[in-house]
């Protein structure tokens, strides 16, 4: 069985596959693909898996197998289809734990760049951020939200049955002891930001070591440990209103965050990665944001396809 690869690396390989199928004749795209391949050994491993998958499917009945890959175009949904096939080729257990499978089965889901607001049965307000998936389970004893991936904002309501409100992530659980908080899952970790009152965090492998997190505090935790508590990021919940608010961020950090809302891949040339940026940006128009940033900093936006862009020195 092939060794597991990071989901983000496999997703990038899937994006390259779809982009090259559509615009492979573009010299700039071919050069960018080669640059990506040589940037990290894991990229070559992921691309080799794409090629093995294509060869395997090519040997199957062309009327069934080939459309699964060759018939795809450049949308986010199509990239996720290829990613799902790559994950399945890497082993069933790993595939089940990965993003597209959980997302596909979740009751509530958002695509890249989409947000969704929900009013739960008790009046609790739940907002899903970009590319997120969650299930809601209410019983006579509990109010539970299972966050499979992505990020949610929670504003709990007073429950007439006095049932505890708990958010479960792949790394553990967060019990509400107040009103408003954020939960974000990525890279095998979960981050919690508390806006009002407090929450109680229990890592999955250390449930007997709870941590109380107070208002204006944030923390990352894994399944086995909790990292040091820090001050909550200012305007961390601005995305609820479709905004990204930053103050003196590194350009690379800014682009990493913006890429969560961009249906494709964004990157930054190392020569401009340390430039600083501040401002308020509309998340619904990431391409316009890139153009605005390029107009204020000594950079340019180089677009290889409509889904693949890089910020470079001007």
Give the pLDDT confidence of 65-124 residue by residue, as tens digits: 334 454 444 456 667 667 666 665 554 334 434 445 555 668 899 989 999 999 999 999
| DSSP β-ladder status, 108-109 and 133-138 | antiparallel
Let me know how long the chain is.
Answer: 314
Mean pLDDT in the chain? 84
What CATH number is given to the structural domain containing 293?
3.55.50.30
- Domain match, 132 and 216 both: yes
- Domain match, 263 and 280 both: yes
Contact at 8 Å (CB) between 203 and 221? Answer: yes
Higher confidence at residue 96 or residue 222? 222
pLDDT of residue 165: 95
% of the chain residues with pLDDT over 90: 54
Helix, strand, or coil (residue 100): helix
Structural domain count of the chain: 3
- Of 71, 105, 139, which closes a domain? 105
- Domain match, 94 and 118 both: no
- Domain match, 100 and 118 both: no
- Domain match, 120 and 44 both: no
pLDDT of residue 287: 92
Return d(Cα 16, Cα 122) in angstroms, integer.
44
Contact at 8 Å (CB) between 171 and 204? Answer: yes
Higher confidence at residue 286 or residue 101? 286
pLDDT of residue 234: 87
pLDDT of residue 72: 46
Question: Is 283 contained in some domain?
Answer: yes
Q: Picking from 16-25, 206-215, 228-237, 273-282, which range would have the lowest pLDDT averaged per residue?
A: 16-25
pLDDT of residue 97: 45
Encoded tokens for 163: 């049932």
Return d(Cα 258, Cα 76) in angstroms, integer.
16
- Of 85, 105, 125, which closes a domain? 105
- Domain match, 113 and 101 both: no
- Domain match, 18 and 125 both: no
- Domain match, 118 and 214 both: yes
Contact at 8 Å (CB) between 49 and 86? Answer: yes
- Domain match, 47 and 137 both: no
Segments forming the whole domain that contains residue 121: 108-231
pLDDT of residue 66: 38
* Best-predicted range by mean pLDDT (27-31, 84-88, 91-95, 309-313): 309-313
Question: Is 204 contained in some domain?
Answer: yes
- Domain match, 117 and 201 both: yes
Question: Is 1 contained in some domain?
Answer: no
- Domain match, 144 and 221 both: yes
Higher confidence at residue 95 or residue 172? 172
């Amino acid at each position: 069985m092939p060794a597991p690869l990071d989901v983000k690396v496999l997703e990038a390989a899937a994006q390259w596959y779809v982009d090259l199928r559509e615009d492979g004749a573009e010299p700039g795209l071919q050069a960018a693909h080669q640059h990506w391949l040589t940037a990290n050994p894991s990229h070559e491993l992921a691309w080799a898996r794409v090629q093995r998958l294509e060869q395997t499917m090519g040997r199957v009945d062309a009327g069934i197998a080939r459309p699964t890959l060759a018939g795809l175009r450049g949308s986010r949904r199509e990239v996720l289809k290829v990613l799902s096939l790559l994950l399945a080729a890497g082993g069933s257990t790993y595939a089940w734990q990965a993003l597209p499978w959980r997302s596909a089965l979740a009751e509530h889901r958002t695509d890249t760049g989409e947000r969704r607001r929900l009013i739960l049965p008790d009046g609790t307000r739940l907002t899903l951020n970009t590319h997120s998936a969650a299930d809601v389970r209410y019983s006579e004893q509990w109010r539970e939200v299972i966050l499979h991936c992505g990020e949610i904002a929670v504003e709990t309501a007073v429950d007439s049955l006095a049932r505890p409100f708990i958010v479960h992530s792949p790394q553990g659980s967060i019990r509400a002891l107040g009103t408003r908080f954020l939960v974000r899952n990525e890279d095998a970790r979960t981050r919690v930001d508390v806006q009002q009152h407090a929450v109680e965090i229990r890592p999955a492998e250390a449930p007997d070591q709870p941590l109380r997190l107070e208002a204006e505090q944030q923390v990352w935790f894994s399944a086995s440990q909790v990292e040091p508590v820090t001050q909550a990021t200012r305007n961390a919940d601005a995305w609820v209103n479709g905004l990204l608010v930053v103050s003196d961020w590194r350009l690379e950090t800014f682009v990493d965050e913006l890429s969560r809302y961009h249906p494709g891949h964004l990157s930054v040339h190392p020569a401009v990665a340390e430039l600083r940026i501040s401002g308020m940006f509309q998340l619904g128009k990431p391409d316009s944001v890139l153009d605005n940033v390029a107009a204020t900093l000594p950079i340019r936006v180089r677009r290889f396809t409509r889904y693949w862009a890089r910020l470079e020195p001007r």
